[in-house]
Structure formats: C-alpha cells, structure tokens
Amino acid sequence: MKFTEINQIPVVWCDEVYDALQSGNPVVALESNVITHGLPYPENATTAQQVEQAVREGGSIPATIGIDAGRILVGMSEADRDRFATVAGIPKVSSRDLPMVLAQGGMGATTVASSIVIADLARIPFFASAGIGGVHRGGEKSMDISSDLIQLTRSKVAVVCAGAKNILDLNLTLEYLETHCVAIMAYQSDDFPAFYSYSSGIRSPHRFDDECKIARAIENHWNLGNSSSILITSPIRPEDAILGVELDALIDQAMLQAEAKGIRGNAITKYLMRTIDQATQGRASQANRSVLVSTAQLGGRLAAAHAKFRKSLSIQENRSPVGFSA
C-alpha cells in the first residue's frame, strides 16, 4: 500500500492501482456502496470479487473506492472488501458527505456521486456502475434529483452503466442531462437502457459500436474544454432482463405503498428496490448482479481501449515537428 496526499486529502493506494496509473495503464473505479448496502454477507463480498474480476477480464485494473479512518482507499485488498462486507452500520457517503466523513475519521461506503469525485481526484478516467441515479418520479414538484446527476456535470470521468433505475422518471433524467450538456452514448444499442430492463423505450442521443471511436470521443469531449463526465450506457443481458411493462406495474404499486407509509427522500430508493425484489421473487437482485458484472467488464474493455488510444497520441506527438501536433 502507498500513502499520499492529494490537495491535502490523505489517500491510501493499492500498489497495483498506483503502479498502473503511474504507467498509464487502464484502471476502472468502482463504488463500495454495493458491498455495504446491497446483498447480505457473504454474497456481497462474493459479488464485489466478481465485479473486480470482470474489470480484469476486460483488460483493466479494478479500483474499489472506500473511506476508512479519515483516508480515501483507492483499490481494496481482499481483507478490505471482507471488512466492508461484514462491519455493520457503515454509512453511505455521497459527494456532499465526503468532507464530514473524512474529518470524523470513520468508515464510509461511496456512492456513484462520491466515487466519481474520488476517481477524478485520483486521475482515474473510468468508473463503472450498474446504474446511475436520476430525477425521481414527481421530481417536477418535489425537486428530488439524485446528486449523481449533479456530479456528472462537475467531474471528468467516463461513466459506464446500464442507464438509470426504472423507479425514476427517465424522460426527465435525460432532459436534465441534456440541459447540462452531459454527453451520452449507447454502446451497441439504439436505446437508453433502464437498469433491469433492456430498453427504456427512449432513443439514445448517439450510438457507438467501436471501442476505439468511443476512446476518441472521450478525448474529444475533454479536449474541447468540457469539465463534465461522459456517460456510456450498455443494456443488461436479454436473458437477465425484466420486462418494462411488468416493472412499471410493480413500481406504481410500490410508490403508492411508500406514500401511504410516509417513506420519502433518501429512504424511498431502498424501499422501492427491496419491494420490487420481493415481488419478482429475487429476479431483481439477479438482474442487479448481472448489470454489475456486465458494466464492469465493458468498463474494463473501454478503459483499455482508451489507454491504448492515449499512448498512441503520445507517440504521434513525440514524432511531430516542434510546434505542431499530429
């Protein structure tokens, strides 16, 4: 393990991750919230290991991110993963919570938003997640908008996911991202996926089938002066998907139950996900595991293609006449 500070923030690096970044080799950041607030032990630890292995199969180094003893962990050992999987009461840490949790010196599990903050801080260009948050149903009145969307407008990270959760208002989610100029592309698919479902029924702004062209598009995005993320979506495997029609009926029913019970705010997502999983007899959990692995593997492949593209640019620049770029 290596200890450094970035902007006076203490960081503990896994040797493998640190060495890869120093050499310009591909790394994919992963959140730790899926370990602490997802499946029960030992399934959570096993799934986290499978997700990391999927990144490796894609050709990159996994960097699971967490908070421990007032320090940021960039890359976890097996012992770290098991500790996060078994210690009770580890708080979920979003981007707004990071300064306080680091100051208090405890443990924390990163969400999509806080993982993107840390990936950008650590200069890790890629982050993979099953799905991002978005604008909640009724968000035009409640203003309930996930901090994931806000962070996508602020951090230079390529985010690979299976779209956004079906429990959200996906039309408003995409409108928000369009308004804030967050670039979106679908990999080998025409539509924006919906987490458990293969398609949301909404057309993606751009489709890309070639990993090298995705790498070029990412570099173009940042070279044009953008300081925002770029969102790359890939749908769940068809054999693991749940039909949108089935989910819509379950979500509508669960929303009514949540309202009757006075469940709102941060608690509603967990309630809806658990209720839907029970109604589908565990198929929703299986779908969740499926997209965790598939997006991690794709993230590994795209990060590898991006690192190769960056190295080719460096070679071209070194061969160019002084004062010119290839």
Q: Which residues are annotated as catalytic?
A: 31, 165
Kindly write down the DSSP assignment for every residue of 119-157, as one continuous string: HHHTT--EEE-S-B--BBTTHHHH--B-HHHHHHTT---
Query: How many other CB atoms sit within 10 Å of the CB of residue 88?
Result: 6
Among candidate residues 154, 163, 94, the one with its CA nearest the CA of residue 132 = 163
Query: Rounded to an integer, what distance in angstroms lies between the CA atom of residue 205 and that of residue 191?
Result: 8
Cβ–Cβ < 8 Å for 313, 305:
no
Query: Rounded to an integer, what distance in angstroms lies between the CA atom of residue 239 and that of residue 236?
Result: 8
Q: Kindly give, in sequence order, each residue whose CB lies less than 8 Å from that of residue 25, ignoring residues fewer than 6 positions away.
A: 19, 60, 61, 307
Helices (runs of H) and strands (runs of E) counted in the chain: 13, 14
Cis status, amide bond into 42, omega within 30 of 0: yes
